[in-house]
Amino acid sequence: MDTTNTNPAPVPPVPPTPAPVAPAEAPRISIDDVIKVEIKVGKILSAEKIEKSDKLLKLSVDFAESTPRQILSGISKHFPDPAALVGKHVMFYTNLAPREMMGMQSNGMIMAVSTNEAFSLLEVPSVIPPGTRAK
């Protein structure tokens, strides 16, 4: 008597691979919204670490206004020596409402891009003077 099973065991179905999820699209804004945002070149005059903060640097920035602005930025881990920022011409959001952080006021926000592997400020050549507005 032949005891060989000629009916193979059923193979469980393979679950379908889920379709890739597209990243959420940012809401569309009008040109009127874009015009509201003021982006200007600022020359960093000084940069220093803020005591009791691992993230924040205190920047003094020239925008060709009557006095430099104080801007606080969470970029400390990218600049172990904050003095490396002095003299750089960088793009900033300049018409944001002031923001209180660590008991200090910040009057703008620096522009930067980053990935898990890289970080960069949005620098412009020094021939573009402080206070020049982005178009």
Predicted pLDDT at 26: 87
Contact 68, 59 (CB under 8 A): no
Among residues of the chain, what percentage have pLDDT more than 90? 81
pLDDT per residue over 31-82, tens digit each?
999 999 999 999 999 999 999 999 999 999 999 999 999 999 999 999 999 9
Query: In the chain, what are the domain boundaries?
Result: 31-121
Q: How confident is the model at residue 13 (pLDDT cuts 50, 70, 90)?
A: confident
Q: Does residue 11 register a pLDDT over 80? A: no
Q: DSSP strand E in the chain: where?
A: 39-49, 57-62, 69-73, 89-93, 99-101, 104-106, 109-110, 112-114, 119-121
The fold for domain 31-121 equals OB fold (Dihydrolipoamide Acetyltransferase, E2P) (2.40.50)
Predicted pLDDT at 97: 97
Q: Which amino acid is at 120?
A: S
d(CA 106, CA 51): 16
Predicted pLDDT at 1: 58
pTM of the predicted model as reported, rounded to 2 decimal places: 0.80
CA dist 121 to 44, 52, 95, 99, Å? 12, 24, 19, 21
Predicted pLDDT at 45: 98
